[in-house]
Amino acid sequence: MDPQWIRWARELQAIAQIGQTFVGDNHFDRERYVRIQQIAAEMMAAGTGLDVRAVAAFFDAEEGYATPKVDVRGVVFDGDRLLLVREASDGLWTLPGGWADVNEAPGPATVREVREESGFETRAAKLLAVFDRSLHAHEPPFPYHVYKLFVRCDLVGGAATPSHETTAVAFATEDELPPLSVSRVTEQQIRRMFDHRRHPDWPTDFD
């Protein structure tokens, strides 16, 4: 689970963002919400080592009612092998995926991410898991609250083709997993996807 300080900072940021959205013309209350957001930025900067101005700008860009962000991950099997991509940013491996876009349903978002990062064409078939990132062993912690959707996608075509975000594409069996990008996916989550392959009638995992 994420450390308590980052959970506090995220909650303060959400309160400040929502407060500024709905406070109306009350100048004094707006000032209070702005100060709460500054405190959240200071907490986040102190805990992560980031520049407080960068964190404040990060928070300033968010508007409206604060809600969790959505990360989608494609779970694509070829027999007993699972599709993985190597991230250009850290040189480690993960399930293809990324942020869902506005006006994009979860299935098409996952299919798009798989295609963009691996070159394979797929068809979204089943939602295997909805995980709260902060309750799993991801590192480092995020300033935002994130839900992670793991979608089983059936392979229908294409060929292994790295992108500007990925440097390699490969299928791996459960006993030959490469070093994982734990910011994006954990070993426990990967092994749970193999469990779902062995038990296709299982319901969706959540939390």
> Are residue 12 and residue 44 in the same domain, yes or no?
yes
**Looking at the whole model, is its pTM more than 0.85?**
no
Find the CATH number of the domain harbouring 172: 3.90.79.10
> Are residue 115 and residue 187 in the same domain, yes or no?
yes
Nearest to 41 by CA among 81, 76, 12, 75: 12
Nearest to 163 by CA among 120, 116, 113: 116
Query: What are the pLDDT digits (tens) for 99-158?
Result: 999 899 999 999 999 999 999 999 999 999 999 999 999 998 888 899 999 999 999 999
> Are residue 137 and residue 186 in the same domain, yes or no?
yes
Task: Provide mean pLDDT across the span 33-51.
Answer: 93
